[in-house]
Structure 1
Amino acid sequence: MSAVQTPSAAKQAPLKIRKKRYGEDQVSLRRMSTRVVIGVLVATVFLVPYAVMLVGSLKTRSEILSVPPMYFPVDTLNWSNYATMWDTPETPLPYNLATTVIIAVCSTLLVLLVATPAAYYTARFKFPGKLAFLFLVIVTQMLQPAVLTAGLFREMLVLGINDTWLAMILINAAFNLSFALWIMHSFFANIPKEVDEAAQIDGAGKLTVLLRINLPLVWPGIVTAVIFTFVSAWNEFAAALVIMTTAENQPLSVALTKFIGQYATSWQYVFGVSIVSIIPVVILFALIEKRLIGGLTAGAVK
């Protein structure tokens, strides 16, 4: 039998290949379309509340409370709400925003300053009571400021730092320290000890090994600790409501409640302050996201 392919068979072969590729492309297109639709639905569910707040911040109070409801402003967008809410005498929002930024940033820095060497030491060295110490650290994560507000108030009063930024910095750092320590402890523990030994053979001290060898390798863990601590300190409410009694010293989370009265609520300002308080967190995620992904991919390459 001749092995030479007939002209008719030669014409049919490319046709079969084209049909096969067309079928695979159709499957891929169908899967991609399904994923896009699901992604849009999920994004819509998460973004609708923020869209409602943004539109509500641009309405008048009568438009927000109108029956039947008005989903969009009738005449114009009231951007003046964002200017007016900063001038309310009972709620000094510029001071509240500055207080929130200072407390969140300082609490995050303090947590990193304490948790980083502690996590490195517990992951690299053995000492008596190590397991008990780690267990005690994780137990403190079960306690929340809302449960301990009375005790915290008395403690800060005795220390003479009640109604100060220092009090809230210490409280936020204390309640976020355990999570940051455990996160970075797991990252330090995954680094082979041979890396430290090689650096020490080359003459590097323990501090140099920590700062120049280990920290770049645990960068994703540091970023995770930064995000968790900053967001937690930014949104803290219960302890701040009790500890911070002066209007200028209160963070945004407490100042927001001043627009909610017993008989009337300025919803346009509530929505406006909520949008303003969300923006810094969104910016933080936008700045850190690339570094987080870069740290994960860099740590995957040996």
Structure 2
Amino acid sequence: MATATAARPTARAPRRTFRPRTLVIAVCAWALAAVFLAPYLEMIVTALRPKSELRDRTYLPQHFEWANFVEVWKESTLGQNLQVSLVVAGGATLLVLLVSLPAAYCTARMRYRGRKLFLLLVLVTQMFQPTALLVGLYREFHQLDMLNSVWTLILANAAFNLAFAVWILTAYIGSIPPELEEAAMVDGTSRFGAMVKVTLPLALPGVVTTVIFTFISAWNEFVMGLTLTTEPDKQPLTVGINNFIGAYTVEWNYLFAASVVAIVPVVVLFAFIERHVVSGLTAGSVK
């Protein structure tokens, strides 16, 4: 009886063995991360460097000048430029979603004559660069008396990002089985209701990809903002930062302080939608 009820040996967790390959991969990963993070670190250090130490060869300043972030707001139109960029990037993203979602849904779900030609034309428009159309855009908005307007930048940025959004959303919506919408419509839901309640939640990774691409593209846009706006307080942030570069001198501390401010909204955007980005990258990997 004692032999039958003998205590069984407890299972031990497998011991982790040291592998040189793992160490090499970790070192390479940290080295690659350091290469990509070094410019941002240099930007932050220079933004906190006093003007008297800008030409010093030391990597770190003797003392940090936090007042640079305060003075850059007082001595420039950075606040207005930041507001313009937020309105332009947000407005362009919203306009692209409002137009591309119905277009992508119709293209993915309906079969009609000229469907492939429509997709081809959408792809062709993506090949045009804004710099090649600047003269025409300037003359058009000048005749419409829409220069130095936020709406001008919203329309221009939305137009150049619309093609990519239609292609991405068409691919995502086309991968969703239409039987799910048909089941919802059998239960009494309209086609629009099925699209909103069934298709769009499943296509959320594609929507998030569109939002990220459009927002960052509109946020980083420089050439159209420089051409279509001339008043300093109505220019986007990318153009406002460029104003710290003079003909003979460059205010490096203010330039990098404004650059640090410029990356904050993008970091905040990624912090809020990071989980949707990860789900979009792994969508379809498990059946």
**TM-score, length-scaled by structure 2:** 0.91
1:93–1:252: 8 Å Cα contact kept in structure 2? Answer: yes
Aligned partner of 2:22: which letter?
A: M
Q: How many Å separate the matches in 2 of 1:285 and 1:181?
A: 22
Pair 1:83-2:70 in alignment: yes
2:169–2:207: 8 Å Cα contact kept in structure 1? Answer: yes
* Aligned equivalent of 1:161: 146
Q: How many Å separate the matches in 1 of 2:212 and 2:160?
A: 14
1:244–1:250: 8 Å Cα contact kept in structure 2? Answer: yes
Pair 1:44-2:34 in alignment: yes
Q: How many Å separate the matches in 2 of 1:93 and 1:230?
A: 19
Deviation at 1:149, TM superposition (A): 1.3
Q: Between Structure 1 and Structure 2, which shows a larger proportion of helix residues?
A: 1
Q: How many Å separate the matches in 2 of 1:158 and 1:130?
A: 34
1:81–1:269: 8 Å Cα contact kept in structure 2? Answer: yes
Q: How many Å separate the matches in 1 of 2:50 and 2:61?
A: 8
Deviation at 1:297, TM superposition (A): 6.0
Q: How many Å separate the matches in 2 of 1:298 and 1:202?
A: 28
The secondary structure found in structure 1 opposite 2:132 is: coil
1:184–1:222: 8 Å Cα contact kept in structure 2? Answer: yes
* Aligned equivalent of 2:188: 203
2:96–2:165: 8 Å Cα contact kept in structure 1? Answer: yes
Aligned partner of 1:198: which letter?
A: A
* Aligned equivalent of 2:209: 224
Deviation at 1:298, TM superposition (A): 7.4
* Aligned equivalent of 2:7: none
Aligned partner of 1:73: which letter?
A: P
Aligned length: 276
2:78–2:240: 8 Å Cα contact kept in structure 1? Answer: yes
Aligned mate of 2:24, from 16, 34, 56: 34
Aligned partner of 1:64: which letter?
A: L
**In 2 relative to 1, CA 36–198 (structure 1 residues): closer, same or farther, beyond 3 Å?**
same
Asked which structure has the greater CA Rg, the reply is: 1
Question: What aligned pairs does 1:129-140 form with structure 2 within 5 A after superposition?
Answer: 129-140=114-125
Deviation at 1:99, TM superposition (A): 0.5
Pair 1:175-2:160 in alignment: yes
Deviation at 1:158, TM superposition (A): 1.5
Question: What aligned pairs does 1:51-200 form with structure 2 within 5 A after superposition?
Answer: 51-66=41-56, 69-74=57-62, 76-88=63-75, 91-200=76-185
Structure 1: segments with no counterpart, 5+ residues = 1-17
Worse-matched range after superposition: 171-180 or 200-209: 200-209
**In 2 relative to 1, CA 110–43 (structure 1 residues): closer, same or farther, beyond 3 Å?**
same
Aligned partner of 2:175: which letter?
A: N
Aligned partner of 2:36: which letter?
A: F
Deviation at 1:62, TM superposition (A): 3.5
**In 2 relative to 1, CA 41–296 (structure 1 residues): closer, same or farther, beyond 3 Å?**
closer
Q: How many Å separate the matches in 1 of 2:104 and 2:279?
A: 22
Deviation at 1:300, TM superposition (A): 6.2
2:81–2:233: 8 Å Cα contact kept in structure 1? Answer: yes
1:99–1:251: 8 Å Cα contact kept in structure 2? Answer: yes
Structure 2: segments with no counterpart, 5+ residues = 1-11
* Aligned equivalent of 1:265: 250
Q: How many Å separate the matches in 2 of 1:100 and 1:216?
A: 29
Aligned partner of 1:265: which letter?
A: V
**In 2 relative to 1, CA 161–259 (structure 1 residues): closer, same or farther, beyond 3 Å?**
same
1:122–1:130: 8 Å Cα contact kept in structure 2? Answer: yes
Aligned partner of 2:31: which letter?
A: L
